[in-house]
């Protein structure tokens, strides 16, 4: 099943949060990662969000989503994706 990704930045695209990844030392970017089963639903979520510099929603690829969640281990990222598809995010 194909997934469509979006991210809501909470403090700009360089604001980090959480603990660093134990293997790489990378941090996650502050924000909400949303995963959808339909592009239409993703686009609707993006359109309903804020649109200013430090808080905005944007389309991201799976590779970008993984980079944005750099503080997570691969297992944490995979588990998140399994449990969050079409979850109703604010």
- Whether 32 maps to a domain, the answer reads yes
- Whether 90 maps to a domain, the answer reads no
Quote the percentage of the chain above a pLDDT of 70: 91
Contact 49, 8 (CB under 8 A): yes
- Whether 8 maps to a domain, the answer reads yes
Q: What is the reported pLDDT for 38?
A: 92
**Domain span including residue 17:** 4-84
- Whether 52 maps to a domain, the answer reads yes
**Total structural domains within the chain:** 1
- Split at pLDDT 50, 70, 90, the class of 66 is very high
- Whether 89 maps to a domain, the answer reads no
**Helices within 1-90 (DSSP H only):** 39-47, 62-68, 74-84
Q: What is the tens place of the pLDDT at every residue in 4-34?
A: 999 999 988 889 999 998 889 999 999 999 9
- Whether 50 maps to a domain, the answer reads yes
- Whether 75 maps to a domain, the answer reads yes
Contact 62, 3 (CB under 8 A): yes
- Whether 59 maps to a domain, the answer reads yes
Q: Choose among 73, 58, 63, 57: nearest CA to 21.
A: 73
């Amino acid at each position: 099943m194909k997934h469509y990704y979006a991210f809501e930045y909470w403090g700009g695209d360089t604001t980090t949060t959480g603990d660093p990844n134990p293997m790489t030392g990378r941090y996650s970017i502050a924000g909400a990662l949303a995963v959808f089963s339909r592009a239409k639903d993703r686009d609707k979520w993006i359109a309903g969000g804020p649109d200013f510099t430090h808080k905005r929603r944007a389309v991201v690829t799976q590779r970008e989503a993984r980079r944005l969640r750099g503080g997570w281990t691969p297992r944490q990222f995979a588990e998140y994706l399994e449990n969050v598809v079409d979850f109703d995010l604010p």
